[in-house]
Structure formats: structure tokens, C-alpha cells
Structure 1
Amino acid sequence: MIVKTDAIRMARKCTEDGNLEGALSIMEKAIVADPSNPVLIIYKGQLLLDLSREEDAEKEFKRALKLDPKNPYAWGHLGLLMQSREEFERAAFCFQRVVEEIPDHNTLTILANVQLAFDPESALLNAEKALQCNPEWEEAKEVLRTAKKHLRENKK
């Protein structure tokens, strides 16, 4: 039986060697041995994304969330997938779940950035929260400037 840490270590080695299919095979075997481990399932989902198998990756991230509904890593990966598809409202929903678990300047900025596409007021508020956590965070400053610009343009 492959334990979680061994499986992840072996899969990382395969990934470093450019063998994504080998890494995926290792994770699939580890999941058979430990089917209720969201960490393994999230890692498998990331490998599927790396293999351009977006729909399969999405299923794995959602599977991990069924096991651990508050898992910020599963929500984050799902949010990044939604963002890559330009499904910004769905991405924001996912990133909001991340912020609920990890309310730091980085996660707040990621949320604010996707909100720029459809809700500049919320983007502005979350960028301000990010800057309260870390006043020097350049990414949050940029999102804040962009949100203010969108709001000014919408008033015209």
C-alpha cells in the first residue's frame, strides 16, 4: 500500500522528470488505497489540469469538496479553472470560499481580481481588505486602481 506522503513524493518526482502520466498513475493507485483523502484527489486534479483534461480535473476538485466542503485548496484550484474559462462569477464564488478559510492579502487579491470582470465595487472592497493585511502588496494596489477606474468609467 502506498501512503499519502510516499505517493505525493513519487508523483512529484515523475512530474519533475516530465512523466505526468506516470504521476497520474501513482495518484490513482494511492486514491484506490485511500479513497477519502482529499489531498490525493486534489493532487490528481492538478495533474489532470496539467494534462489539459479540464473536465476530469473539475470532477476531481468537486469530488474532494464532497469529502471536505471547506477545503481551500480544492476551492482554489476549482476557482483557477473557472477563471481560465473566463467564468468569472463562478471563479469568484470559489475564491470567496478560499477567503473564508484563508483571509490573507493574497487570497483577497485573487478574489478581487476576478471580481473586476463583473463587480468592480466588490473588487474595490476586497482589494482594500488585502491592503489592510499587507499595505505594500503591489497586486492589490493594481486591482484597487483598476477597480476605481472601472467605477469612474461606469459613472460617465
Structure 2
Amino acid sequence: MASTMRTALILILTAASLAGCSVLGLGGPARDADGRVTEPADIRSTALTVGDCFSFIDGTNMAEATVVPCATTHTHIVIGQGSLTKADIDAGGGLQNAVSAACSDSFEAFVASAAEGAKPKQEFVVSTAEEDGVEVTRYSCVATDAAA
């Protein structure tokens, strides 16, 4: 639990902290008609979408990721996404608890479909944004994935 909390806190990213990363994610990665990545690309972690397979570029700076076709070696996969308001976070008992609860169904489904013997871990990528004039916390539910 402490590791998950540490990971979540490390992954809390704001738009302001990413302002210097403009070289990442220009135009996004190449994708096929189904939205699957077709070529490796370095992007902001907050630009990942559901189904993206990736590895963080630097384990100490999780703001950047190399997204790859899922048949290519990778360490993580995005299994869900959404956003929470401040009221959602408060009602959920804080950011860690609210995001964990929001990701629980997708993580349980991922674990159920994982290869026998696999022990995926749940992680999160979060950032703040404004949606319809309201500040929200956007999150990506991420699982470790060494299937490739």
C-alpha cells in the first residue's frame, strides 16, 4: 500500500510541470484505424490513452513515456481513464483512495485476464485540467504488464 501511495504521489503531474516538455507528444504517436500505436514514440505520460502499452522513459521522471505497439516489449499498459472533481476526491477520502476506487473495476478485469502466474500491480498517472470551467483531476489507470 505504501508503494502504491508513493507511486501515486510521484505520478501527480500538473499541466504547469509539463510546460517544458513541448518536444514530447508533438502530433501524438502513429496509430492504426483502431487507435493502436504502430510505431514507438516518446510522449507525455498524461497523453497516453486506454490500451496504450508503454514504459516510463526514466523511472525517476514519470512525466514521460515511450509508447509502443503492444507486441513490443513494455512495462505498463493503460487500462482505464477518467476524471474526478474535488467533491469526488473529498467524498472518496482523498486523491489516492478516490483514484484507486475509480480504477478498481478495470484493474480487477485486467488481473482476471492476465497470464497465469502474472502478478500485475496497479499504478496511476494523474494531472489537473479544466473541463467546462471546473478544475478536475484526470487519471489513467495503469497496470504493470510484462506480457510482451
- Please tell me whether Structure 1 or Structure 2 has the larger radius of gyration of its CA atoms: 1
Which structure is higher in RCO with an 8 Å CA cutoff and minimum separation 6?
2
Name the structure with the higher helix share: 1
Same fold at TM > 0.5: no
State the TM-score, normalizing by the size of structure 2: 0.29
